[in-house]
Homo-oligomer: A and B are copies of this chain.
Amino acid sequence: MSPDLSMPRTLAADLSRYADMAPSPVRLSGWVHRRRRLSGLAFLLVRDRSGNAQVVVKDPAVLAELDGLTEETTVDVVGTTSANPQAPGGVEIIDPALTPLTTPAATSPVEVWRPRISAGLPTMLDSAAVTWRHPRQKAKWQLAAASMHGFRRTLESQSFTEIQTPKLVQSATESGANVFAVDYFGKQAYLAQSPQFYKQMCVGIFERVFEVGPVFRAEPHDTVRHLAEYVSLDVELGFIADHRDVAATLRDVLAGMVETIYERAAGAVDLLGVDVPTVPASLPTVHFQKALEIVGAPQDEPDLAPAHERALGQWARDQHGSDFLVVEGYPLAKRAFYTSPQPDDSRWSNSFDLLFRGLELVTGGQRLHRYDDYVAALAQRGETLGPYEEYLQTFRHGMPPHGGFAIGLERWTARLIEAENIREVTLFPRDLHRLAP
């Protein structure tokens, strides 16, 4: 039997509209989420992009058909609405005719119908195309998608221009390490570790730019925090006074992302019980030196250890009631060569890290904007101009004071749901051992 495609499709979530109406014919399309067979009766849950619908099967011929339709088979269901307070949305479908759209689905190592996936992470990742169908899994990506939307919307409302910059580059962006090499028509090219240089060039064009795109790190360590490819939410803006203007933009972006999560992924928030942070009107900010003091670390400590970051997260919560803390002024020597020094004391830098609940989430800051300063900064680090030469030409042509930041999309989502492993929130993760699916 062919599905009656002249009949418009109804989404599961829209069935609730029929709760107070006379029984009506409807057509559902979706996946066999779960069959529950009782004697002389079966409940079929049909899953579509909007949720689940309950279908009650009594006709023996249809019951026999249903026995052959394994979970995850796609199916068309034509039936009649019937109010039932027990069913999702208060409406179920009775007297259905079923039309499988494919042959019965093979058994998946991941059981999508269970309240929680019981498989281990490697199995989940191997079967990602099925794993992500699970409502709890799907909800994670809905948080990510809403975050991207909020990121863009906030920046577009502040006259930022979206850019798309090349991922195939002539020289490594940040340093020679951890970079993937590409055979580029017989020459050597690299995959961009960040759009850093390009977004800076684009500040010279559009003043304010953002990009959402992949970045690549040949990360040789197998950790729960690192990926070989991830999505970077990049921002760069010109005509700033200093890095605090950058941090203010970061605040607005985070507030926009949180707002959009409530607007567009409220269901995901509920399902996963996400403790969505409140973004304060202004982010509490401490200098690196003060941060060392707060955590009782020696004043010559060059960086914050994870334990320090956790302690600072607690301090921000106690002192400012904030999930976020900006630590500014990191030692210049520990930051990328393009970082602007603190004007009154060049041991420190006009850069910052944003801690979210005691974990580093974002790095940002003011960049150098004068050609001579770049030449001096590279010389001081014992680096040659060579690989940066082409990029540095931009700074001969009038670059305003500028700065920016980058948020790792997967890291942000992982923090939101307190994932143990960043791979849980990545659609198809890439790492030292994994290149498929």
Collect the chain B residues with CB atoms within 8 Å of residue A5's CB: 241
Is the beta-carbon distance between B213 and A170 smaller than 8 angstroms?
Answer: no
Q: A145-B161, A167-B167 are in contact. List 4 more A-B contacts (CB 8 A).
A: A132-B205, A141-B163, A168-B180, A185-B220
Is the beta-carbon distance between A436 and B169 smaller than 8 angstroms?
Answer: yes
Is the beta-carbon distance between A105 and B214 smaller than 8 angstroms?
Answer: no
Is residue A394 contacting chain B, with contact meaning CB distance below 8 A? yes
Nearest B-chain residue to A264, judged by Cβ: B156
Q: Which of B31, B183, B218, B398 contacts A31 (CB 8 A)?
A: B398
Q: Which of B159, B180, B370 contacts A103 (CB 8 A)?
A: B370
Collect the chain B residues with CB atoms within 8 Å of residue A435's CB: 168-170, 184, 187, 189
Within 8 A of B (CB), among A274-290: none
Is the beta-carbon distance between B201 and A437 smaller than 8 angstroms?
Answer: yes
Main secondary structure of the interface of A (DSSP, over half): mixed
Q: Which of B102, B213, B218 contacts A185 (CB 8 A)?
A: B218
Collect the chain B residues with CB atoms within 8 Å of residue A370's CB: 102-103
Is residue A114 contacting chain B, with contact meaning CB distance below 8 A? no
Is the beta-carbon distance between A168 and B430 smaller than 8 angstroms?
Answer: yes
Copies per assembly: 2
Q: Given contacts A129-B201, A187-B435, A400-B74, is CB(A142)–CB(B162) below 8 Å?
A: no
Nearest B-chain residue to A105, judged by Cβ: B398
Is the beta-carbon distance between A229 and B168 smaller than 8 angstroms?
Answer: yes
Q: Which of B152, B214, B399 contacts A214 (CB 8 A)?
A: B214
Q: Which of B32, B161, B205, B372 contacts A398 (CB 8 A)?
A: B32
Give Cα A201–Cα B216 distance, bound, in whole angstroms.
23
Give the top 4 A-B pairs by smallest Cβ distance, nearest first: A49-B207, A105-B398, A129-B201, A106-B396
Is residue A164 contacting chain B, with contact meaning CB distance below 8 A? yes
Is the beta-carbon distance between B228 and A168 smaller than 8 angstroms?
Answer: yes
Sample 23 A-B pairs with CB under 8 A, ordered by A number: A49-B159, A72-B397, A74-B400, A101-B400, A102-B370, A105-B396, A106-B396, A129-B204, A129-B393, A132-B205, A141-B161, A141-B206, A148-B162, A163-B427, A164-B212, A166-B229, A168-B216, A168-B229, A169-B436, A170-B435, A184-B228, A213-B213, A391-B437
Q: Which of A130, A138, A218 has the most CB of B within 10 A?
A: A130
Nearest B-chain residue to A187, judged by Cβ: B435
A133 to chain B, nearest CB (A): 5
Collect the chain B residues with CB atoms within 8 Å of residue A108's CB: 397
Chain A 215-231, CB-CB to B under 8 Å as 1, else 0, gives 01010100000001101
A322 to chain B, nearest CB (A): 27
Is the beta-carbon distance between A145 and B162 smaller than 8 angstroms?
Answer: yes
Q: Given contacts A102-B369, A132-B205, A427-B164, is CB(A180)–CB(B184) below 8 Å?
A: yes
